[in-house]
Structure 1
Amino acid sequence: MKTIFVQFKCRPGRAYKVADTIAETVEELSEVHSTSGQFDLIAKFYLGEEADIGHFVTERLQTVDGVSDTFTTVAFKAFGR
């Protein structure tokens, strides 16, 4: 399983609609949070080993109405209890 975090810049006034759309339509989503600063949202996704991250982001996430930009981080190991 691949874990990725994607930060989203949204068009003005669209962040909550983008978050709702992602939550309702993208089954690989673990969680999505609103944020302050350069990006409006950050979301965590779990992808299968065979998944192509580039295609997932460009075809499934960047095409959501209201998304103007994304920044993707690939995660390797989770630490914690």
Structure 2
Amino acid sequence: MIPFFVQIKCHLGKAYQVASDIADREIASEIYSTAGHFDLLVKFYVEAGTDIGHFVNEKVQIIPGIQDTHTIITFKAF
């Protein structure tokens, strides 16, 4: 499994609804609310060989209330 993170900026007043929608879809490992430029930090796992760009585009960015995303791909856990 390949881990990666997505920072999500939500439309005003929609962060809890977006987080709930992500949780309901059971596509994320962990969901955190954050302070700063983004409202949520979400950890995902995909099978090796999965196109992360397509995953984010087709499973995350389609969720109502999301304004912007920033994907962080990780290389190694220490």
- The SS at the match of 2:21 is helix
Query: What percentage of residue pairs aligned between the two structures are identical?
Result: 51
- The list of structure 1 runs, each at least 4 consecutive aligned residues, that deviate by more than 3 angstroms after superposition, is none
Instruction: Give the C-alpha shift of residue 24 in structure 1.
Output: 1.0
Measured in 1, the distance between the counterparts of 2:75 and 2:5 equals 11
Give the TM-score normalised by the residue count of structure 2: 0.95
Unpaired runs of 5+ residues, structure 2, are: none
Give the TM-score normalised by the residue count of structure 1: 0.92
Tell me the number of residue pairs that the alignment of Structure 1 and Structure 2 aligns.
78
- The SS at the match of 1:36 is coil
Match in the other structure for 1:49: 48
Aligned-residue Cα RMSD (Å) equals: 0.8
Instruction: Give the C-alpha shift of residue 26 in structure 1.
Output: 3.4
1:15-66 C-alpha deviation (Å, 9 max, x unpaired) = 0010010011033x11000000000000000100021101100111001000
1:28-39 equivalent positions in 2, closer than 5 A: 29-39=28-38
Amino acid at match of 2:10: C
Unpaired runs of 5+ residues, structure 1, are: none
